[in-house]
Chains A and B, each alone.
Chain A
Amino acid sequence: ILNVEQSPQSLHVQEGDSTNFTCSFPSSNFYALHWYRWETAKSPEALFVMTLNGDEKKKGRISATLNTKEGYSYLYIKGSQPEDSATYLCAFRTGGGGNKLTFGTGTQLKVEL
């Protein structure tokens, strides 16, 4: 059974703070690591798909890094804004055919004014 863990479970920060979350996943049979942002009552929004060890991706104030050898990924948000408030999910894709993502339970971020 694959286990994807995210920490912390929830986070409250002030506007302008920078923050980061962790996603831990099995280091064997790695194919890809996905990050999503999920706002209440909306569809999960894809942020990054990362496939190579050492990958770094950036989208505006959000960036992510990947370490497949030790099985973790970090998501960073620089200068948090209230609109960044959402649940951030990571999902692990292993080999074996087919398209199956194993999700963590997410980090719930609340950015306060």
Chain B
Amino acid sequence: KAGVTQTPRYLIKTRGQQVTLSCSPISGHRSVSWYQQTPGQGLQFLFEYFSETQRNKGNFPGRFSGRQFSNSRSEMNVSTLELGDSALYLCASSVSGASQETQYFGPGTRLLVL
């Protein structure tokens, strides 16, 4: 079974631009979560989607948004990029997001904002 895939793997943008990252979950998984890791910080929860609906949201500004499609693939968008948005963005999938389920992570997209 293929794992979680993320595209692109690396991205360079300039301040003020916007960016869209993509995540394809494991087949059969309907819950997709997004996390951000910046230097010196742990993984910070951005949001979770289940059945095309945002079910939970972390403490990030409205510039960070996401969506999920009917095939469970998810995208996250960051508008008006700031230098501090430079980070590794990881997505994780699980079957339904139940508490006892393992979440499987993708390899991440590393975003550099200049």
Which A positions have Cβ atoms within 8 angstroms of B? 4, 31-32, 34, 36, 42-46, 49, 51, 89, 91, 93, 95, 97-106
Contact = CB atoms under 8 A, between A and B. Distances in A.
B81 interface: no
A27 B45 CA distance: 20
Contacts of B17: none
Interface of B: 3-4, 31, 33, 35, 41-45, 48, 50, 55-56, 58, 90, 94, 97-108
B99 A44 contact: no
Contacts of A89: 42-43
A101 B41 CA distance: 15
Given A98-B48, A99-B31, A100-B33, A31 B99 contact: yes
Given A98-B55, A99-B98, 5 more contacts: A89-B43, A91-B43, A99-B55, A100-B33, A101-B45
Residue of A42, A43, A95, A99 with most chain B CB atoms under a 10 A cut-off: A99
B105 A101 contact: no
A99 B105 CA distance: 14
B41 A34 contact: no
B41 A49 contact: no
A89 B55 CA distance: 24
Contacts of A51: 99-100
A49 B102 contact: yes
Given A99-B31, A100-B58, A43 B102 contact: no
B42 A105 contact: yes
A106 B37 CA distance: 12
Given A32-B100, A46-B102, A99-B94, A104 B48 contact: no
Given A99-B56, A100-B33, A46 B103 contact: yes
B100 to A, nearest CB: 5
